[in-house]
Structure 1
Amino acid sequence: MLEHVLVLSAYLFSVGLYGLITSRNMVRALICLELIFNAVNINFVTFSDFFDSRHLKGSIFAIFVIAIAAAEAAIGLAILSAIYRNRKSIHINQSNLLTK
């Protein structure tokens, strides 16, 4: 069971990392970052259950990561909407914020 969950987590992490590296769209990059966070959460919960099932340290840490990821998504989408209002584009290679 442990191997299956770790393979799933590695697959999610790999897909998220590939999408983060190759994406040109900021929304897609945020979604891929969320995939990476979810893969890490799966690892936390799995290892917490496998090594010490009486304590919920991994699950509690995963809840903190979920809360941080939700805040990151909200702030990221707010920044993206501000960039879109100013630049009329959300492509990563077209958004140089230092030039007007």
Structure 2
Amino acid sequence: MTVSISSYLMVALILFCVGLYGALTKRNAVVVLLSIELMLNAVNINLVAFSKFGLYPSVTGQIFTLFTMTVAAAEVAVGLAILIALYRNKETVNVDEMNQMKR
């Protein structure tokens, strides 16, 4: 049984839509960060799928995927550090109540 590119793209589409829904509708900052990670993973699936099934198959998409995973890990570390600092000051992780930059 072989898996076609449409299967990869369908999984990536579903994953991206779930992440987009979570990022736009949820108010918990941790859930928003996780939703953004889901969207990045959907992009990674697309990169690997097009790398495997492209006109000229190569490892370029896989290398880009490793790079984006590294950037995503750094983004999560910085995001969680900011959330911990905000939680210590405001005692909430609700996105609507985090308005320290507003006047």
TM superposition score normalised by structure 2: 0.92
Q: Which runs of 5+ in 1 are unaligned?
A: none
Aligned-residue Cα RMSD (Å) equals 1.2
Partners of 1:6 and 1:32 lie apart in 2 by 18
1:42 is aligned, of 23, 41, 45, to 45
Percent of aligned pairs sharing the same letter: 44
| Structure 1 ranges of 4+ moved more than 6 A | none
What secondary structure, in the 3-state scheme, does the structure 2 residue paired with 1:42 have?
helix
1:88 aligns with 2:78: no
Partners of 2:65 and 2:100 lie apart in 1 by 34
CA displacement 1:1-47 (0-9 Å, x = unmatched) = 11111100000000000000001000000000000000000000000
Match of 2:28 in 1: 25
Q: Which runs of 5+ in 2 are unaligned?
A: none
